[in-house]
């Protein structure tokens, strides 16, 4: 299949975008997937939201989601600052 056909059919996952992303904790699906980064096979968490968008997220963010759920949160705002693995930081705030 040529590049245009592949792109039209492919579903690409990426990390959360910089800035704010609203996450409805009761409407997401998570799964562990094997990916290759820098030639090494690694396990990553993949989040799929109610709209069908998929994002790779760090496991530390899942721990933060768990804490928010335990505190009664249904919806949170995740703020991503940074662009690389080494300088990216996440802040989570309960919305409701």
Average pLDDT (87-91) is: 92
pTM for the whole structure: 0.78
Q: 2 in a domain, yes or no?
A: no
Q: 82 in a domain, yes or no?
A: yes
Query: Total structural domains in the chain?
Result: 1
Query: pLDDT, tens digit, for every residue of 43-74?
Result: 889 999 989 888 988 899 999 999 999 999 99
Which tokens hold the place of 39?
């030639």
Q: 4 in a domain, yes or no?
A: no
Q: How far apart are CA 37 and CA 6, in angstroms?
A: 21
Q: Is residue 6 within 8 Å of residue 57, measured between CB atoms?
A: no
Q: Determine the structural domain holding residue 49 and report its residue range.
A: 12-94
Could you tell me the CA-to-CA distances from 51 to 15, 24, 36, 71 in Å, in that order? 16, 11, 26, 25
Q: 61 in a domain, yes or no?
A: yes
Q: 28 in a domain, yes or no?
A: yes
Q: 26 in a domain, yes or no?
A: yes
Q: 6 in a domain, yes or no?
A: no
**DSSP 8-state symbol, 75:** E
Q: 1 in a domain, yes or no?
A: no
């Amino acid at each position: 299949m040529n590049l245009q056909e592949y792109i039209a059919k492919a579903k690409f996952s990426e990390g959360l975008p910089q800035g704010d992303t609203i996450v409805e904790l009761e409407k997401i699906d998570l799964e562990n997937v094997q990916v290759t980064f820098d030639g090494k096979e690694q396990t990553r968490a993949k989040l799929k939201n109610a709209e069908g968008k998929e994002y790779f997220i760090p496991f530390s963010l899942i721990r933060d989601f768990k804490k928010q759920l335990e505190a009664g949160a249904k919806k949170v705002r995740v703020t991503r600052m940074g662009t690389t693995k080494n300088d990216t930081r996440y802040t989570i705030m309960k919305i409701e």
